[in-house]
Amino acid sequence: MVMDSEVVVLGSGISGLSTAYFLEKAGCKTIVLDTSDPIHGIGSTIRSAGIISHFFPFPEEIRIVQNSLKFYKEIIGLSSEKISYNNSGLLAICPKSDEKRLSDFTTAMSSANVNYHHLDNTELKKIYHMLSLSSNEIAIISEDSGYFDINRLFPIIFNYIQTQQNRLFTDIKIKNVQNGNSFRFDTNYGEFTSDKVIIAGGAWSDKIAKLFNCNIKFNTYSTQAAILSISGPFHRHVSSLPILYKMNNGLYGRPFSPSSFLFGDGTRKYLDDPNNFKFEPEESFNKYVLQQAIELFPNISVNSLQKSWSGLYTSSQDLRPIIGELKENLFFMGCFNGFGIMLAPGCSQLLSDIILNKTPSPDFNCFNIKRFHNKNIL
């Protein structure tokens, strides 16, 4: 059996699926291939906290996030299953001494027309009684940020793509790749051909690129998350809290249920084969996140660890996404620095425009892979 398409997308995480969506929407025949089922497999999308943050130091990333949010709302509108976007806002807790970094974020939000305002400790406690700042901290509320339940959102996207003209195949084993006038994949499912190929494989992207005699140099990191059960006089207000983000150490969190809170952090460089990664967090992280929760919620009892997990993400040298052409008709998209849910769909839209020969947004230049061509990155 031979299946033909204009584009083959390698990877069925959020970047691969959203790219396929935009291409098919424009009438471009697309096939998505993956080695595993992204709902139950080893990919990173389903392990996301589902946070949509507009708190970035660059307006280009914020505009990408805004377009990603439009994509999610569009897909939900097309689906028979409805879920809501919890527009809780994001509360960033920042050291007062870090004025330059703080200024970069607020300037970027202003440039992208994102609503925000500052809070001191007195103002904060009036709104969120269970939270407290130290004397050397200030808080900023990014009002447009929020979150989705990723365990509901991602299956909606996956199932929608499956029901459209896109052909999505999982558990694929690629035996051989030929690249003459077109690309030909010999797999356990048969042969697939295409004019163009997009690599959207997350931490596995460099392994995929080697099938085409290419290398993609990026850093891979592990990150960890945990859900903590809480109680105390204010625990009933937990579900109304915004997303929390501590700028000094990277800790983030959001309400998970009326009596639990999700925290994430624990980033460290990962040098091994991603196939060998253990998706269980270290015991030291569990202890660390418990201590952080106690400091954030001094009036709430943190009772137990309900669940914890770990995942991988990739990052470029300048910590910004990479989009563009590796070589003729072979494209790559990735390096979202742990913000794939926020950035991938918006970047997919930019890449789709390039593949469809549309005039790209000026923001594309900030993420174009060509910025690294003279720096021994690719």
pLDDT bucket at 125, cuts 50 / 70 / 90: confident
pLDDT for res 88: 93
Neighbouring C-alpha atoms within 13 Å toward the C-beta of 21:
28
Is 378's pLDDT higher than 60? no
pLDDT digits (tens, 9 = 90+) for 287-296: 899 998 888 8
pLDDT at position 112 over 80? yes
- Over residues 24-52, mean pLDDT: 90
Q: What angle do CA 220, 315, 307 make, to 5 degrees?
A: 60
Higher pLDDT, 301 or 178: 178
Those residues whose C-beta lies under 8 Å from the C-beta of residue 337, and which sit 6 or more positions away, are: 313, 314, 315, 316, 319, 320, 321
Residue 375 has pLDDT above 70, yes or no: no
In the predicted model, what is the mean pLDDT of residues 297-307?
83
The upper half-sphere exposure of residue 281, i.e. CA atoms within 13 Å in the direction of its Cβ, equals 23
pLDDT for res 149 = 95
- CB count, 10 Å around CB of 240? 12
Unique residue bearing structure tokens 């720096």? 375
Architecture of the domain whose range is 90-143+219-315 = 2-Layer Sandwich (3.30)
Q: In this predicted structure, what is the pLDDT of residue 22?
A: 97
Query: pTM value?
Result: 0.93
Instruction: Please state, for a pLDDT cut of 70, what percent of the chain lies above it.
Output: 97
Q: Above 60 in pLDDT, residue 26? A: yes
Q: Does residue 142 contact residue 240 with C-beta atoms inside 8 Å?
A: no
pLDDT in tens, 57-73: 999 999 999 999 999 99
Report the C-alpha gap between 51 and 149 in whole angstroms: 9
| Res 297 pLDDT > 90 | no
pLDDT reported for residue 165: 67
Query: What digits encode the pLDDT tens for the residues 227-266?
Result: 999 876 666 678 889 999 999 889 999 999 888 999 998 6
Domain spans of the chain? 2-50+151-216+318-372, 90-143+219-315
Tokens 């992280």 sit on residue: 285
| H or E stretch at 73 | helix 59-78
Domain covering 2-50+151-216+318-372: architecture: 3-Layer(bba) Sandwich (3.50)
Mean pLDDT to the nearest integer, 314-332: 96
DSSP state of 58: S
**8: nearest Cα among 24, 31, 28, 27:** 31
Stronger pLDDT, 349 or 236, i.e. the higher one: 349
pLDDT at 147: 97
As a whole number of angstroms, the distance between CA 136 and CA 132 comes to: 12
d(CA 156, CA 159): 5
